[in-house]
């Protein structure tokens, strides 16, 4: 089988990536202009533009009309875009995503406790209290609940884990789930949050994981019922 020859566009993309790495360019750094790239790489502006557009779509570069080309931010927005399309094209099993969330959150608890990290109990309690207020005032509780879980991941002091979890959470939020909980369940949820905080303080992994599992129960139940309805 013949070796598949790379196109000039592909070669150009590799050259640009190498240039970024070799020059230690960081996010928002000014990159070479199209004209400079044409001169340096000795290819047409068409090839340069196709390469730049491709690198832009995966977040490596950012192109601004009239201004120039810049190194992209190191965030995972492009991965989120890919997953969004993947979700739209192929869908996803909600149960699978929920299981992944459970893996992540129970894992977070374990990391915090096994690494003997000192969690920001005050801030977590503050978030949970705001959650309680929202429950009482019948305002949006989802944001508070999500902030609580997000802060737990942050408390693991593992930035890569935090970013991956963020991507997955974003993927998860693409799924439209109408789990409208009544006040009683919401209050229970608030109490579970409180118990998780306590368990973290007491460095009790078993309890923390048990309560978190409890926390997920209503949503798993909901999905179980949805899946049952489809049978």
> Of these, 18, 23, 28, 33, which contacts DNA (CB under 7 A)?
33
Question: How many CB atoms sit inside 10 A of residue 208's CB?
Answer: 26
What's the min distance (Å) between Cβ of 16 and its own copies?
11
In 3D space, the residue among 213, 114, 97, 124 whose CA is nearest the CA of residue 158 turns out to be 114
Q: Does 221 bind its own copies (CB under 8 A)?
A: no
**CB closer to its own copies, 10 vs 187:** 10
Q: Are 131 and 149 in contact (CB under 8 A)?
A: no
d(CA 84, CA 78): 10
Distance of CA 78 to the CA centre of its chain: 11
Place of tokens 């998860």: 172
Q: Does 35 bind DNA (CB under 7 A)?
A: yes
Q: Are 67 and 55 in contact (CB under 8 A)?
A: no
Instruction: Give 63's contacts (C-beta < 8 A, 6+ positions apart).
Output: 52, 53, 56, 69, 70
Q: Does 9 bind its own copies (CB under 8 A)?
A: yes
Q: Which of residues 79-118 bind its own copies (CB under 8 A)?
A: 79, 81-83, 85-86, 88-90, 92-93, 96-97, 99-100, 102-104, 106-108, 110-111
**CB closer to its own copies, 115 vs 142:** 115
Rounded to 5 degrees, φ, ψ at 103 are: -55, -45
What's the min distance (Å) between Cβ of 57 and its own copies?
4
Binding span for its own copies by CB under 8 A among 34-42, 116-124, 160-168, 191-199: 160-168
Q: Are 218 and 181 in contact (CB under 8 A)?
A: yes
> Of these, 21, 118, 122, 176, which contacts its own copies (CB under 8 A)?
21
d(CA 167, CA 82): 11
Query: What is the contact surface with its own copies in residues (CB under 8 A)?
Result: 7, 9, 13, 17, 20-21, 46, 49-51, 53-60, 65, 74, 76, 78-79, 81-83, 85-86, 88-90, 92-93, 96-97, 99-100, 102-104, 106-108, 110-111, 156, 158-161, 164, 168
Query: What is the contact surface with DNA in residues (CB under 7 A)?
Result: 5, 7-9, 33-35, 43-47, 49-50, 52, 63-69
């Amino acid at each position: 089988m013949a070796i598949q020859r790379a196109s000039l566009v592909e070669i150009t993309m590799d050259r640009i990536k190498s240039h970024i790495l070799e020059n230690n360019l960081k996010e928002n750094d000014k990159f070479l202009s199209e004209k400079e790239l044409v001169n340096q790489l000795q290819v047409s502006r068409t090839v340069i533009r196709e390469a730049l557009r491709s690198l832009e779509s995966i977040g490596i570069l950012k192109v601004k009309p009239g201004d120039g080309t810049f190194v992209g931010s190191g965030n995972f927005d492009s991965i989120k875009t890919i997953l969004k399309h993947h979700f739209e094209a192929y869908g996803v099993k909600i149960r699978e995503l929920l299981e992944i969330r459970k893996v992540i959150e129970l894992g977070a608890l374990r990391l915090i406790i096994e690494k003997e990290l000192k969690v920001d109990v005050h801030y977590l309690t503050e978030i949970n209290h705001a959650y309680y207020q929202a429950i009482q005032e019948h305002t949006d509780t989802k944001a508070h609940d999500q902030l609580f879980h997000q802060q737990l991941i942050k408390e693991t002091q593992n930035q890569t884990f935090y970013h991956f979890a963020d991507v997955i959470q974003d993927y998860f939020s693409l799924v439209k789930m109408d789990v409208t909980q009544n006040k009683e369940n919401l209050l229970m949820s608030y109490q579970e949050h409180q118990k998780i905080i306590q368990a973290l303080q007491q460095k009790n992994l078993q309890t923390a994981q048990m309560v978190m599992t409890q926390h997920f129960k209503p949503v798993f139940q909901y999905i179980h019922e949805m899946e049952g309805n489809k049978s």
